Each structure stands twice: as C-alpha cells, then as structure tokens.
C-alpha cells in the first residue's frame, strides 16, 4: 500500500493535520494509532479529575470553535467528545487504523518515500507526519526494591479503572499537573495517602464556572462573539508570558500563589513543605482549588524526604519512616525529551531521529529536521508553552507543514528538507532567547530540560512570535533532496 501522507497519532495534532490536508484537497492519507480509539492524551489519561488546565475557550481548533463547552475548564471526556465530533464532521474515521503501532520508518532514497513497518504490516508514504506528542510515553522510576512490592502499582496515564481504591493505603509518587488533579478525587476514598513529593509546585487558584444554556446558545448563534471572547482571552494570557521574562512580574505572580497557599493551609509545617524554593513559572504553574485542602486532611501524609526503597508492602523513606502501602500510583510524568518514536524513525543517512537529536532535540521551525526529508514532527522541539494553549502552537506548525507540502506540489519536488543553515539559524534564535527566561534563571530542573540540562521543549517567547516565525515557509530555507543523496 502506498499513500501520499501517513500521520502517526490521532490526538489534536493528527486530527488538525488531517483536516488541513483535506482543505488542501489531499485525501490520500492514513492515520495510524496505537490505541483502540482516537483522541491521544485525552483518551489515554483516564485518571479521576483529568481536566484541561487551559481555559476551554482557547482549547479548541480555530477552525472548529466549540460553543458547547459546559464550563471554563473542561474535563477529559468532554474534550475527547469534541475531538470525536471534529473527526466525524470531517469524515476522518475512514482514514484511521487503530491498534496499530509504528515499528520502523526509514527514508527510501531511491523511491523518495518513507517505508513504514507497523505491527500490522508494511506501507509506504511520500510524507510522514509524526503527531505522537511529547507527553505520550509514561516515565516511571525504577525504585530500589520495587520488584518485592506485594501490592498493585500503575502510572497515572495508565490508570487501572478496575482497581478499587476504597479503603486502601495508597502511595502517590510525584506532585505535578496530573497528581494535583487526581489526589483530591481519591483522598476521600482511601484509608491513607502517602504523597511522595520531591519538589513542590507553585499552584494558583482555578477560576472555573459552568456555562449556562443561554450562554451556549448565544455563542452558537453568534460565532463572531465566540471568536471575540476567545481573542480577548488569548490576549490576556499572552501577557502572562511577561512574567516568564521579568523577575518583578514573576515575584508578583508568586505572591498570589503564596496567598493561595496561606489561605488554604493553616499548618505552618505543611505550608513550609508545600512552598517551592524556585521562581514562579520555572516549572509548570498548576491550577487547583482542591489540592491544598485535600493534602491537609488527616488521612494524608506529605513525605518530602525521598524514597530509600520499597520493601514488600512498605515504602521506606530516606528519613527512615516506613509507609504501609497497598497501591502505588506513579504520577511521575512522561519521556518528553526522549520520545520513543525518535528511535524508530531513520533519515536519509540511516541514523535515527534519536541519534540526530543526541544530545539535544532540534528542528527547523520546530517542525522539520535536516537529514529527514518529508518529515513533520508536531508538536516538535521547542514548541511547548507555559502560559497558553498548545493548540495554537500545533496549528502554527500545521500551517508550516501545509506550506511546505504546497511548495513541493507547486514546484514539482518529490522530497525536501530544511537546509542545515536554516535549521541552525532557527535553533540559534531559541538559544539566544532562552537565557532571558525563568526557565534559565528560575533555579529549578524540570521535564522541559533534557539530560544535558538543555531546554528543548519550550518556546522562549510570546506564542504570536512563534506563529510569525513558523507559519509562513521561506522557500530558501528548504532544499530539494534528489534520489542520489542517500549516503553520508
């Protein structure tokens, strides 16, 4: 089987790319999905309380805005239903192949196409869109002695919905964006909750409200009004980027977070344990009204001394305290800077994307990679954000990909890749901006950084500047790849 385009993944990036391909008149494409349904992270994450911490009004495609959101911050099932609706309205399901995993993609220099091997067989594609997302592969620490654990353990992104937590002694490892959403949900159910916190997060209040029927009808009837509200919210959030660059603004925001903590936690010892020691914004800012009250309940113990080992049915902390545990929930994040997909995609030199990205992930326009013709990675390196909707970035990258595909069609070129110079220029701009941000001066380490400490995940500027930088393709930044350019 041969197709014009193979898209890997059916989350926001894959679906957005598919819609824009159809708009371009390209419908010869497949969407390969390892899960049994579409939706990506919004299908896979089934932990209780899973919701978006970016306002709903911003969390939809610009071309499929949603007047029907039920509240300010939507929950995962509603976002999944939105994605299913977009896919159905655009007839995408007939392109989708579920329960199929990409095992290898290699650039065929003579045929000028990608040869794909999946768990279900082989196919080829002129163009490959890797839309698997940076937060799809769970990262789970190998705790000393975990093999001796006699209870049940799972990762928050692989939630065991069959496992009844009622009356259990539960350990939660990690206090990031996922943990703070499900801890308040499970705390009332469990007998005891030992929360192993390595680094506390800055948490701000969540101003949520339900949208009434009239409001929804109004937005349905007057889409311009919906766009206006969305545009205003976008502008306000965009201003928040300033706090990632200016210490005084970061300090003001930090004060707001400190007041939130003071208002919700009266015990000074617990408050001290929950107070971060780095600048606001350096790690992802979390949004919750329920986390602090939940961890203040008598059945919760916040353990800050680190984990020494697991011993049978106990977790022993570095301070020597032993915690009897029936269930361990790893809320320990994802392999954002070491995506497994990069290990199976091989470019025109035969090396893998993982090798090309050692030690740092790099791409032109955060989307295309020198040495990997006709490949688009969405979201790609340095396209992440700390202050607004990733969908804005995804749409900017899709616009770039469509621009390149259009250029190939208009010029009759079978294969292109960014020039080394164009990629270097783009990466240099990021490297120049990054030191001016809180991610450089904030005094923390986070999943934004790779093993070398280099921040290869975030865009260090306003999001509108990202769109300016990537949405339009400069033809000079690309070179045609001829069939003979196969070797080193």
- CA dihedral (15, 400, 28, 137) positive or negative: negative
Q: In the complex, what is the shortest distance from the CB of residue 219 to ligand N01, in angstroms, rounded to a whole number?
A: 22
Buried b (16+ CB within 10 A) or exposed e, 391-409: bbbbbbbbbbbbbbbeebe
Name the segment binding ligand N01 (CB under 6 A); options: 29-37, 169-177, 257-265, 391-399: 169-177
- Please report how close the Cβ of residue 52 comes to ligand N01 at its closest, in angstroms: 5
CA distance 442 to 281: 8
Among 175, 254, 382, 449, binds ligand N01 (CB under 6 A): 175
Q: Where does this chain touch ligand N01 (CB under 6 A) — which range of 208-216, 235-243, 327-335, 478-486?
A: 327-335
Q: For 133-278, where are the alpha helices, taking DSSP H only? A: 177-186, 213-221, 223-239, 247-264, 268-273
- Angle, vertex CA 40, rays to CA 3 and CA 215, nearest 5: 115
Q: Is 134 in the site for ligand N01 (CB under 6 A)?
A: no
Instruction: Give strand pairing partners of 171.
Output: 194, 328
Interface pick for ligand N01 out of 107, 292, 357, 447 (rule CB under 6 A)? 447
| Residue of 136, 178, 337, 457 interacting with ligand N01 (CB under 6 A) | 178
Cα 326 to Cα 312: distance, rounded to the nearest angstrom: 10
179 near ligand N01, judged by CB under 6 A: yes
Q: Which member of 18, 80, 170, 331 binds ligand N01 (CB under 6 A)?
A: 331
- Minimum CB–partner distance for residue 225 and ligand N01 (Å): 26
For residues 463 and 392, what is the distance between their CA atoms, to the nearest angstrom? 8
Q: Strand 416-418 and strand 478-480: pairing?
A: antiparallel
If binding is defined by CB under 6 A, does position 443 make contact with ligand N01?
Answer: no
Interaction of residue 135 with ligand N01, rule CB under 6 A: yes
Subset of residues 35 to 64 that bind ligand N01, contact rule: CB under 6 A? 51-54
* Least Å from the CB of residue 177 to ligand N01: 3
Q: How far is the CB of 387 from ligand N01 (least distance, A)?
A: 12
Check residue 141 for interaction with ligand N01 (CB under 6 A). Answer: yes
Site for ligand N01 in 184-213 (CB under 6 A): 196, 198-199
Which of 141/231 has CB closer to ligand N01?
Answer: 141
Judged by CB under 6 A, the chain residues 82 through 121 that form the site for ligand N01 are none
66 in contact with ligand N01 (CB under 6 A): no
**DSSP assignment letter at 158:** G
Buried b (16+ CB within 10 A) or exposed e, 416-453: bbbeeebbeebbeebeebbeebbbeebebebbbbbeee
The DSSP secondary structure of 319-377, one letter per residue, reads TS-EEE-SEEEE---B-TTS-THHHHEE-TTS-BHHHHTSSS---BTTTBBTTBTTEEE
Catalog residues that contact ligand N01 under the rule CB under 6 A: 51-54, 135, 141, 156, 173-179, 196, 198-199, 284, 331-334, 447
């Amino acid at each position: 089987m041969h197709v014009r385009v193979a898209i890997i993944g059916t989350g926001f990036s894959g679906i957005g790319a598919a819609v824009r391909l159809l708009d371009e008149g390209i419908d010869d494409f497949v969407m390969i999905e390892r899960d049994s349904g579409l939706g990506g992270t919004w299908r896979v994450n089934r932990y209780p309380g899973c919701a978006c911490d970016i306002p709903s009004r911003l969390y939809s495609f610009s071309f499929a805005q949603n007047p029907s959101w039920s509240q300010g911050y939507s929950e995962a099932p509603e976002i999944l239903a939105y994605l299913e609706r977009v896919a159905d309205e655009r007839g995408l399901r007939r392109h989708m192949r579920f329960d199929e995993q990409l095992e290898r993609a290699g650039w065929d220099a003579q045929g000028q196409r990608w040869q794909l091997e999946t768990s279900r067989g082989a196919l080829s594609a002129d163009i490959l869109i890797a839309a698997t997302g940076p937060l799809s592969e769970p990262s789970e620490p190998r705790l000393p002695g975990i093999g001796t654990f006699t209870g049940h353990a799972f990762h928050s992104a692989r939630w065991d919905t069959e496992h009844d937590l009622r009356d259990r002694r539960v350990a939660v490892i990690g206090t990031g964006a996922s943990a703070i959403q499900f801890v308040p949900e499970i705390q009332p159910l469990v007998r005891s909750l030992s929360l192993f916190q390595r680094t506390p997060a800055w948490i701000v209040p969540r101003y949520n409200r339900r949208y009434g029927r009239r409001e929804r009808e109004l937005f349905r009837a007057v889409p311009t009004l919906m766009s206006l509200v969305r545009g205003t919210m976008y502008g306000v959030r965009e201003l928040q980027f300033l706090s990632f660059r200016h210490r005084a603004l970061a300090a003001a925001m930090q004060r707001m977070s400190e007041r939130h903590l003071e208002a919700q936690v009266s015990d000074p010892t617990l408050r001290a344990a929950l107070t971060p020691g780095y600048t606001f914004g350096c790690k992802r800012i979390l949004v919750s009204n329920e986390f602090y009250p939940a961890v203040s309940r008598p059945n919760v113990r916040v353990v800050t001394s680190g984990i020494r080992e697991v011993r049978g049915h106990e977790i022993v902390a570095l301070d020597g305290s032993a915690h009897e545990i029936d269930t361990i929930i790893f809320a320990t994040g994802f392999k954002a800077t070491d995506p497994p997909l990069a290990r199976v995609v091989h470019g025109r030199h035969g090396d893998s994307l993982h090798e090309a990205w050692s030690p740092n992930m790099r791409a032109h326009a955060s989307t295309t990679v020198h040495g990997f013709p006709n490949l688009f990675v969405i979201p790609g390196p340095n396209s992440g954000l700390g202050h607004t909707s990733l969908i804005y970035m995804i749409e900017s990258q899709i616009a770039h990909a469509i621009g390149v595909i259009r250029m190939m069609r208009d010029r009759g070129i079978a294969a292109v890749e960014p020039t080394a110079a164009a990629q270097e220029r783009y990466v240099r701009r990021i490297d120049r901006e990054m030191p001016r941000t809180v991610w450089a001066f904030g005094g923390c380490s986070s999943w934004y950084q790779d093993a070398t400490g280099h921040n290869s995940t975030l865009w260090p500027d306003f999001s509108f500047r990202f769109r300016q930088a990537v949405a339009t393709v400069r033809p000079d930044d690309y070179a045609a790849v001829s069939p003979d350019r196969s070797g080193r």
